[in-house]
Amino acid sequence: MVIERTAPATAFDRLAPAYDSLVSRDTFCRQRAQTHAALARWIKSGHRVLEIGCGTGLDTVFLAGIGARVVACDPSEEMVSRARRRVETAGVGDRVGLLPCGLQDLPKFLDVLDHAEGFDAVVSNFGALNCVPCLDALGMLGRRHLRARGTVAIGLIGRSCLWETIYFSLRGDRVRAARRRAATVSVPVAGIEVPTFYHRQRDVARALGAGFSHRATIGLGVFVPPPYLEPRWQQAPRPIRLAVAALDRMTATWPLLNRLGDHTLMCWEKARVKHD
C-alpha cells in the first residue's frame, strides 16, 4: 500500500534520533507516569489495543508489559523502526504488531489485514492526533473496529494551558500566551513547519458519535510546567518541585482544572449493542 508522505511524517523522521532524549526529562516523565497509571486502570491483561501514533514505542512497551496485545502504528518510518527495536529489546515482540501509517490510512490497513476480531481499546497519546486536521477516521475506527464496552483513550496537546498563558503573559508576550486558542498553528519540528490542530474534547466526542459515553478527563501538567520550560522547573528547590508535582496529581481530575494542562487525557466507553 502506497502512503503519501506528509510534513509531520518527514519532521518526525528527522526528530526520531533525538526523541527519546527529549521526552526523558522530569516534566515529561511525570506526564507519562500519570498517563500510564490511567491506562493501567482502563486497559487490562489480554485486551487487544490499537495504538495510533506510537512514536518510538514507549507506550507500546508499557501496554504490552501489562499484558495487552497491541497493534501500533505511526506515519514516521524512523519512529516505527525505533519502536520495533524497543519492542524486541523489551521481549514483548510476540504481543506487538507495528504498521507504518497514521490515522487517515489506518482504516485501510486494518481492512486489508482483516482485523475482524476487533479491539478492546483505541489509544493515542501525547498529541499524535494534533497532527491531523480531522478526527472522522477516529470515529470510523471506533464504530467499526472497537468492541462493545471498549475504551477510547486520547491524549491531546491542551487547547488551554494554564502555565503557558501565565508564563508568557508575565513576559509580555501576548501572542505566545494565546497561541493555543487558535484552532490551527504552525509549529517547527526538526526544522519543518508542521500544522498543529488544537482539537477540543467536544471535537473528539463529535467524531466518535452518540454511541460513546465520556468517562474521564485528566489534566497533565496543570501546575507542573510544560516540558520546554524544564530548565526553569529545575531551578526550583526540590521540595517545592515535589509539592507542586503532588498538587498536579491531586487536582488532575478536578473540573475546569482538568482542561488547563499542557496535555489532556480523555477516556470514552463504547455502548453495548442493544438487542430487541
Walk me through the domains of the chain, giving residue ranges and CATH numbers: 7-270 (3.40.50.150)
Looking at every residue in the chain, the average pLDDT score rounds to: 93
Question: How confident is the model over 120-130, as pLDDT tens digits?
Answer: 999 999 999 99
Q: What is the mean pLDDT of residues 56-65?
A: 98
Phi, psi of 153 (to 5 degrees): -120, 115
Q: What is the mean pLDDT of residues 171-175?
A: 94
Are 47 and 73 spatial neighbours (Cβ–Cβ below 8 Å)?
Answer: no
- Cβ neighbors of 194 (< 8 A, separation 6 or more) are 7, 8, 11, 131, 186, 187, 188
pLDDT bin (cut points 50, 70, 90) of residue 116 is low
DSSP 8-state assignment for residue 160: S
Crossing angle of helices 238-250 and 26-42, rounded to 10°: 30
Q: What is the mean pLDDT of residues 198-203?
A: 95
Q: Is 31 exposed, middle or buried (0-12, 13-18, 19+ CB in 10 A)?
A: buried
> Which region among 30-39, 93-102, 104-113 has the lowest average model confidence (pLDDT)?
104-113
pLDDT score at 276: 39
pLDDT score at 114: 66
More confident residue, 117 or 54: 54
Determine how β-strand 263-270 pairs with β-strand 212-220.
antiparallel
Q: What is the mean pLDDT of residues 202-213?
A: 96
pLDDT bin (cut points 50, 70, 90) of residue 275 is very low
Residue 33 has pLDDT above 70, yes or no: yes
pLDDT score at 157: 95
Torsion over CA: 94, 100, 104, 107 (sign): negative
Residue 3 has pLDDT above 60, yes or no: no
Q: What is the mean pLDDT of residues 162-173?
A: 95
In the chain, the N- to C-terminal Cα span, in Å, equals 41
pLDDT score at 115: 62
